């Protein structure tokens, strides 16, 4: 037996409320993050992730309060991402009770941020979030996948696999690989992209984007994911954490 494949429900939080939209558009309100996180803990979630999609800094303060209240209620690891731009932002979230912090756009603009955070708090707190898609049109990258920003609306031309590899070398403790093509489709994770990153990166890899059935999670783990993350299928009640784990267990994967 080895380390279990982690099943991680992700909650998108806007101004203190949980939302999730198809392809990040048309956000829908689905409840209180503290209550939902606690419910997932009870269902056997191995971690819980909050993604803060708030637009303003005032709303980010609301998030710190949400993190504090959640950390008082759940006894599994809590990761918080969204709008993290500096080591001080990380400090604020860790002090509120987050165990890990997700960094995305700010690290693309300034990769040194990864080393700054890892140097101050250790690699284990830093989850580098990569929103990636298959290249289209005139854009080409060596792997065929590129990093995007703005919820997948803007390409950067940066090779997604190379970026994951570079960020791990700079000190990211974990990579959250979110397929912007698969996100919201419920048609399965982008297994080729997962395998391509797994092949080049030696830190834990979290698969995200596209989960629709329990089998999709099994496929992602087999493609090399150490953890599988999903949002809408869990909080609209399409799947439970238990169903996903049953499927993985039946497939011979280690689960908690």
Partner 1 sequence: MGAPKVVVLDYGFGNVRSAVRALERVGAEAELTADRTAAQEADGLLVPGVGAFAACMEGLRTVRGGEVVDRRLAGGRPVLGICVGMQILFARGVEHGVETEGLGEWAGTVERLDAPVVPHMGWSPVEAPEDSVLFAGVRDERFYFVHSYAAQEFTQGHDDFASKHYTPPRVTWAHHGTPQRGARFVAAVEDGPLSATQFHPEKSGDAGATLLENWVRSLA
C-alpha 52/C-alpha 157 separation (Å) is 25
Interface with partner 1, residue 94, by CB under 8 A: yes
Partners of 131 in the beta sheet? 178
CA torsion, ordered 230, 181, 141, 171, to nearest 10 deg: -20
Q: How far apart are CA 125 and CA 203, in angstroms?
A: 13
Give the helix/strand (H/E) hosting 227.
strand 227-230
97 binds partner 1 per the rule CB under 8 A: yes
Residue 121 near partner 1 by CB under 8 A: yes
Surface-to-core class of residue 111, CB atoms within 10 Å of its CB (0-12 exposed, 13-18 middle, 19+ buried): middle
Strand, coil or helix: 72: coil
Q: If binding is defined by CB under 8 A, does position 251 make contact with partner 1?
A: no
> With binding defined as CB under 8 A, does residue 99 bind partner 1?
yes
Nearer to partner 1, 129 or 148 (CB): 129
Q: Is there binding between residue 242 and partner 1 (CB under 8 A)?
A: no
- Asked whether 102 and 51 are in contact (CB, 8 A), the reply is yes
Which entry of 14, 41, 131, 159 is annotated as an active-site residue? Answer: 131
Site string for partner 1, 183-222 (x = CB under 8 A): -------------------xxxx-----------------
Which of 115, 82, 120 is CA-nearest to residue 101? Answer: 82
Closer by beta carbon to partner 1, 97 or else 111:
97
Task: Tell the smallest beta-carbon distance from residue 29 to partner 1 (Å).
Answer: 28
- Tell me: does residue 20 bind partner 1 (CB under 8 A): no
Give the one residue of 15, 27, 76, 106 binding partner 1; rule: CB under 8 A: 76
Q: Is 12 part of the annotated catalytic residue set? A: yes
226 is catalytic: no
Helix, coil or strand: residue 229: strand
CA distances from 209 to 11, 19, 78, 173, 232 (A): 13, 16, 19, 20, 10
Given 12, 159, 181, 183, which residue is catalytic? 12
Q: Give the contact letters, 122-161, x = binds to partner 1 (CB under 8 A), - = no.
A: xxxx------------------------------------
Q: What phi and psi, each to the nearest 5 degrees, are found at residue 12? A: -85, 125
Nearest distance from C-beta of residue 127 to partner 1, angstroms: 10
Task: Give the residue numbers annotated as catalytic, written as ranges.
Answer: 12, 131
Residues in contact with partner 1 by the rule CB under 8 A: 1-6, 41, 46, 71-72, 75-77, 94-97, 99, 121-125, 173-174, 202-205, 226-227, 256
């Amino acid at each position: 037996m080895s380390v279990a494949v982690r099943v991680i429900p992700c909650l998108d939080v806007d101004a203190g409320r949980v939302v999730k939209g198809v392809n990040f558009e048309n956000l829908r309100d689905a409840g209180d993050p503290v209550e939902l996180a606690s419910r997932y803990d009870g269902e056997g979630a191995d971690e819980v992730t909050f993604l803060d999609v708030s637009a303003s800094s005032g709303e980010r303060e609301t998030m710190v309060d949400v993190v504090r209240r959640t950390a008082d209620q759940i006894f599994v690891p809590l990761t918080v991402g969204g709008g993290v731009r500096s080591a001080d932002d990380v400090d604020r979230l860790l002090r509120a009770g987050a165990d890990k912090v997700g960094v995305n756009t700010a690290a693309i603009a300034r990769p040194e941020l990864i080393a700054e955070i890892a140097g101050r708090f250790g690699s284990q707190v830093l989850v580098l979030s990569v929103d990636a898609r298959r290249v289209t049109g005139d854009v080409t990258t060596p792997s065929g996948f590129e990093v995007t920003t703005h919820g997948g609306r803007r390409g950067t031309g940066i090779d997604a696999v190379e970026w994951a590899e570079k960020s791990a070398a700079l000190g990211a403790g974990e990579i959250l690989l979110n397929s912007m093509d698969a996100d919201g489709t419920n048609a399965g994770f982008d297994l080729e992209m997962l395998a391509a990153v797994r092949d080049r990166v030696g830190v834990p890899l979290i698969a995200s984007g596209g989960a629709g059935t329990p089998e999709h999670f099994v496929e992602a783990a087999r493609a090399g994911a150490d953890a599988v993350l999903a949002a809408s299928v869990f909080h609209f009640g399409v799947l439970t954490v238990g169903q996903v784990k049953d499927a993985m267990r039946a497939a011979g994967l280690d689960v908690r």
